Amino acid sequence: MKLSARTRYAARLLLDLALHEENKPRKASQLSESTDVSVQFIEQIFKPLKQAGFIRSVRGANGGHLLNAAPETITLGGIYRAMEGSFTLADCCDDPKSCERATDCPTRSAWARISDALEKEMDAITLEELMHNPEGLID
């Protein structure tokens, strides 16, 4: 499994907003400069993040983007789900009808177990934790 650039950049952008949260919106150009993500890509990434309730936008001359949730409530798992959808490594884990062998497949339970472990670990890491102790996440 490999994370998409969209998901990695979404986490980077949300972390930037969390680190600069002063109830003052950040313009896409500011975000682009501090995260090395293009303005055009930022706008694409922000659509699902808005739908998930993680950010909100403010219009006008002093407008921009703000976090819409507390950093301690936003997890890497939530970001992943907003950007990618399901955590499952194999379609048959979510939908057994997607594979004719799903009911008697000897590896299906392994893929489900690995998917569950990954989801649990990503749900345990919050933006707040990344803000204050990013190096402490590595054992």
Return the CATH number at 65.
1.10.10.10
Distance, CA of 95 to CA of 76 (rounded, Å)? 24
Distance, CA of 15 to CA of 74 (rounded, Å)? 10
pTM for the full predicted model: 0.87
Q: Give the residue numbers spanning the domain of 85.
A: 5-129
Q: Comparing C-alpha atoms, which of 98, 54, 57 is closest to residue 78?
A: 54
In this prediction, residues 40-51 reach a mean pLDDT of 95
In this prediction, residues 8-36 reach a mean pLDDT of 91
- Answer whether residue 44 shows pLDDT above 80: yes
In this prediction, residues 115-131 reach a mean pLDDT of 93
Q: Which amino acid, 125?
A: I
Number of domains observed in the structure of the chain? 1
Residue 57 inside a domain? The answer is yes
> pLDDT-derived band of residue 102, with 50, 70 and 90 as boundaries?
low
- pLDDT score, position 125: 95
Residue 37 inside a domain? The answer is yes
Residue 136 inside a domain? The answer is no
Residue 134 inside a domain? The answer is no
Residue 137 inside a domain? The answer is no
- Answer whether residue 64 shows pLDDT above 70: yes
What share of residues in the chain are helix, strand, coil (percent, to 5)? 60, 10, 30
Say what percent of the chain tops pLDDT 70: 93
Q: Is the CB of residue 126 less than 8 Å from the CB of residue 71?
A: yes
